[in-house]
Amino acid sequence: MPKEKILIIDDDQLMREFLEEALNRLGYKIVTTSNGKEAINLLKNQSFDLILTDLKMEPIDGIEVLKKSQQICPETPVIIMTAYATIETAISTLKSGAVDYLIKPFTPETLEIAIKRALEKTRIKAENKFLRAELRSYMGPSDMIGNSKAMKELKKNLLKIATSNSTVLIRGETGVGKELVARAIHYNSPRKDKPFIKVNCAALSSSILESELFGHEKGAFTGAHERKLGRFELANGGSLLLDEISEIHIDLQPKLLRALQEKEIERVGGTETIPINVRIIATTNRNLEEAIEKGTFREDLFFRLNVITMHVPPLRERKEDIPELTEYFVKKFSNENGKHIEGISQEAMEALLEYDWPGNVRELQNIIERAVVLAENKKILELNDLGFLKSMGIKPFHRSSFTRGITLHEAEKKLILQTLEYCNGNKTKTAEMLGISVRTLRNKLHEYGFAQPKKKK
């Protein structure tokens, strides 16, 4: 049943009663008023999904209510009703910003169609606005590149998983392409024609993340000037990517768990439950089992997320894919920067193959982009075009420098501390080199007991 809240404004009591009865029967929540002045006050203090107003009223008519609503709550659609119908008034009303125009008297069926159409337009508008922002920010291949054994196995499993409706947890180091895998799952699934919405859990504070996920009502907190749809609602019918799920604060995890279990949410500051139909895809570069032991991640949430697990291999474990990836990035950034670089020398390629890529594919992408941008009048990138790596304090990490039998946790710790040493204790440069956020680096150093690492003398 619909849960949208509709404001009815009409000075005719019989019409208000007709509208209220018809819309209550359809399951909408209704607020009614007999005049425009009271309606404007209601708009200032409450959120509505739709406004249904009469045109001819005193002293404030429907057009004035429409104009005021565009200032107070510009995202809320308005339908104008009138018994004084002319083509001129219809055109004028629609030009003023109304989404529809109903001529009295009308049937409950006509009313239902108009309301559903208006609400659908608003939903699509909000969804498109968000998706345009997502597309502008997205960088990366449109398909997964690589024909190594590890990548062939990953693609094979991906196609099987995509056809299901199960929650997927994608695990892997920073920069391996977990988001790319998530997108491939969505666009090979039955939900491919529905929204694919992403939220970066590591980039937002707990309070902001709650609002982004679940939305908020007008007045829910300081600065909440209008109702906002959360990403669960924007993703309805499609897929929601919870990127770096491990970074969600423990206090917010119960609300997320409830949404996954009950398939319903409540907006921040709201009291009504909203049903959702969303496939969850989560990613993490951290060991969630260790986070559970430390009390920073709920075990029940982990079980809910860990229905199907995919592991994206690090680049050092599929080095045979480096030439193909390099070719792709050279072409991509040459075209974007108006260059005519055709490839990379054998010596430079050997250097790329020797390097162990702590930042994975993202680091390779950044290195090739810088090399292409800085190269002058060249068709082939040479080894010296990659020389700026040394000036950044980056040195190759050979596998031979790690003792055989070392655990993944110990290897990660050693790699991070070595990188920090090479960067002379500079956390920003270290994080950039490793392809992780400074926040993640600090969390790791705190975990290792190196809150204030010493600088190399």
As a whole number of angstroms, the distance between CA 169 and CA 159 comes to: 15
- Tokens for 176? 């391996």
Helix (H) or strand (E) holding 215: strand 215-216
Residue range 282-302, pLDDT digits in tens = 999 999 999 999 999 999 999
Q: Which domains does the chain have, with CATH numbers?
A: 5-125 (3.40.50.2300), 147-311 (3.40.50.300), 315-391 (1.10.8.60), 399-448 (1.10.10.60)
What is the overall mean pLDDT for the chain? 86
pLDDT value, residue 389: 54
- Rounded to an integer, the average pLDDT of 158-176 is 93
Q: Report the 10 Å Cβ neighbour count for 107.
A: 9
Nearest residue to 75 via CA among 25, 144, 125: 125
Contact 97, 62 (CB under 8 A): no
Nearest residue to 139 via CA among 175, 187, 189: 175
Contact 166, 306 (CB under 8 A): no
Q: First and final CA of the chain: distance in angstroms?
A: 68
Percent of the chain predicted with pLDDT > 90: 53
pLDDT value, residue 248: 94
| CA 306 to the chain's CA centroid | 20
The pTM for the full model equals: 0.62
- Torsion sign across C-alpha atoms 261, 263, 268, 274: negative
- How far from 189 is each of 3, 26, 321, CA to CA, in Å? 29, 32, 26
3-state percent helix, strand, coil for the chain, nearest multiple of 5: 50, 15, 35
Map tokens 């799920």 to a residue. Answer: 245
Burial 374-413 (b: 16+ CB within 10 A, else e): ebeeeeebeeebbeebeeebbeebeeeeeeeeeeeeeebb
- Torsion sign across C-alpha atoms 416, 438, 247, 234: negative
Could you list the beta-strand ranges (E) of 227-284: 228-229, 239-243, 264-265, 274-275, 279-284
- Torsion sign across C-alpha atoms 102, 105, 109, 115: positive
Residue range 402-439, pLDDT digits in tens = 555 667 777 788 888 888 877 778 888 788 778 788 88
Q: Report the 10 Å Cβ neighbour count for 347.
A: 11
Maximum average pLDDT range among 282-291, 341-350, 389-398, 408-417: 282-291
